[in-house]
Structure 1
Amino acid sequence: MTTNNNSELSTEQRDELLGTLKARFEKNMNRHEGLDWAKVQAKLEASTDKLWSLHEMENTGGEPDVVGHDEESGEYIFYDCTAESPKGRRSICYDQEALESRKANKPENSALNMAAAMGIELLTEEQYRELQKLGNFDMKTSSWVKTPDHIRKLGGALFCDRRYDTVFVYHNGAESYYAARGFRGSLRV
């Protein structure tokens, strides 16, 4: 993952990202029926920190796209919409505690650490199920989801995938990691 310590994109990076997001928005109108790209773009251009987060989502293979609009707050909601769990965010355990608990063969990072560094949130189980209504995601991979505290306190963490035309929620030790498991994020702009 490429990180940018000052969270600022160059004009070229900004323009390239906006072009990518616009093309994806127009190609996948079923994800955001009734929304207008010009309004989304205006909101993005006014939020350089959010643009940087979207750049990180894109840079790690997430293919972020607008999946909703919160009428009350006026925020647009982006989820990672790549077909499989983002390639640049796989082979990671759930959180810092899990990372520290591994004595050997530690993964390079954790889902919660990466999400925080990117300025995004892990999808909740409910958000993951909403995403799956927009297409078929994680048919070969799986994605960590935000785990309730009572499960995490007992050492577990949750992940989801789609198999047999059904969304499944599973549990694993939070310290586990697999080449086919990453995480999907959300961002409100």
Structure 2
Amino acid sequence: MNRDNPKKELSQAQREELLRTLETRFEKNNIRHQGLSWNDVREKLTKNTAKLWSLYEMERTDGEPDVVGYDEKTNEYLFYDCAPESPKGRRSLCYDREAWEARKMHKPADNAVDVASAMGIELLTEEEYRTLQQLGKVDTKTSSWIKTPTPVRKLGGALFCDYRYGQIFVYHNGADSYYAARGFRGSLKV
């Protein structure tokens, strides 16, 4: 998490560079957002600097955010982390603050839920993770924490997903566990 920018504002140069990166990715990956226009997405982004900052954080932590849908009812574009593997800048995290605090030895630097919240994004749900996999296979060597249902979390567990053997797998682990190959993927509505 970039705690050096508490105002969550980007410089003009950072905004322009991010918008160029997002446009290039948008144009390169049309299958993710067929029928959508980059000009419309850009217009929404330039009007919402807080969301642009969140996308910057997604990009800075190697998430490679891209548009994966549009909600006509809310007039919002949906961005997911589309990096081939779980974002490098968000790995080795336990699931949430409760799990982090419960860990007595070898605590990780942080936890996925708090980092996502600080970035202004949400962890992907299982359904969103499955949707992402339809747009291109991800996490073939890594895994990603996903939003865990309350009953599972109350029992001390948390869920994560990956793609192996031509299948999407949803697993459980102790919420306090963390691994160098497990991070989290986020979503953002703009």
Distance in 1 (alpha carbons) for counterparts of 2:18 and 2:160: 29
Deviations 1:96-133, CA, capped at 9 Å, x for gaps: 00000000000000000100000000000000000000
**C-alpha separation in 1, matches of 2:166 and 2:59:** 27
> How far apart, CA to CA, are the structure 2 residues paired with 1:71 and 1:173?
38
Partner of 1:61: 62
Q: Tell me the number of residue pairs that the alignment of Structure 1 and Structure 2 aligns.
A: 189
- Tell me the equivalent position of 2:175: 174
- Aligned residue for 2:95? 94
State the Cα distance separating 1:165 from its structure 2 match. 1.0
SS in 1 for 2:44: helix
Give the corresponding residue for 1:49: 50
- Secondary structure in structure 1 of the residue aligned to 2:118: helix
Unmatched 5+ residue regions in structure 2?
A: none
In 2, the alpha carbon distance for the partners of 1:83 and 1:132 equals 10
For the residues of structure 2 that align with 1:61 and 1:158, how far apart are their CA atoms? Answer: 22
Query: Could you tell me which residue of structure 2 aligns to residue 109 of structure 1?
Result: 110
Deviation for aligned residue 1:2: 2.8
Superposition pairs of residues 19-168 of structure 1, within 5 angstroms? 19-168=20-169
Aligned letter for 1:149?
Answer: T
| Deviant stretches of 4+, over 2 Å | none
Question: For 1:117, what is the secondary structure of its paired residue?
Answer: helix
Q: Supply the distance in 2 between the matched residues of 1:149 and 1:128 (Cα, whole angstroms).
A: 18
Aligned to 1:187, the other structure's residue is in SS state: strand
Give the unaligned 5+ runs of structure 1.
none
SS in 2 for 1:168: strand
Give SS of 1:44's match.
helix
Deviations along 1:139-174, whole A, 9 cap, x unmatched?
Answer: 000000000000000000000000011100000000
Task: Map 1:13-24 onto structure 2 (within 5 A).
Answer: 13-24=14-25
TM-score by length of 1: 0.99
Q: Percent identity?
A: 67
Amino acid at match of 1:2: N
Give the 3-state SS of the residue equivalent to 2:34 in structure 1: coil
Residue 87 of structure 1: how far off its partner (Å): 0.1
Does the residue aligned with 2:99 lie in a helix, a strand or coil?
helix
Deviations 1:16-68 (A, max 9, x none): 00000000000000000000000000000000000000000000000000000
